Amino acid sequence: MASIFTMLFRRSFTSKSVPEALWKLGRLNHIAIATPDLSKSASLYQNILGADISEPQHLPDHGVTTIFVNLGNTKLELLHPLGEKSPIQGFLDKNKSGGLHHICIEVDNIQNAMKEVKAKGIRCLTEEPRIGAHNKPVVFLHPKDCAGVLVELEQS
């Protein structure tokens, strides 16, 4: 069994030799589902499954209308096209019934997270974070660089 001195020495040596990360990956914030019929999808979660849902929120800068389904440990985000240039419309043109669109993971420092993922060859879909549905900065990572998944990072 190691002595207290040895354990403290190892801990202090390790903490000095390994720099702290400039950002940390947090919890899953939500899973986004694109839907061709927002009212029907909201009704499924609220009236059939008994979930608590938010009021619709229009996000013109993102070209979507969202409704959040609160699940306690995370949320589902129902997405519907808003406006002619909505990126969700392109997704729905390819997936008529809708489906999984993206996952959102919290980070404690979005600027540092963007710098590091870019340095590691991951493309961000915008040069700067934009304000998302929770009024916090968000950025999307290219699905071709993320195992086919569109990943949204959100400042926690």
Domains, the chain: 19-155 (3.10.180.10)
pTM equals: 0.82
Residue with tokens 């013109």: 60
CA distances 77 to 5, 6, 57, 118, 134, Å, are: 51, 50, 11, 26, 11
Q: What is the pLDDT of residues 116-155, one digit of tens each?
A: 999 999 999 999 999 998 999 999 999 999 999 999 999 9
pLDDT band at residue 18, thresholds of 50, 70 and 90? very low
* Integer Cα distance of 130 and 62 in angstroms: 9
Q: Once rounded to an integer, what is the mean pLDDT over residues 101-113?
A: 96
Residue predicted with more confidence, 112 or 10 = 112
* Integer Cα distance of 6 and 145 in angstroms: 43
pLDDT at 2 over 80: no
CA distances 95 to 4, 35, 100, 132, Å, are: 60, 9, 10, 24
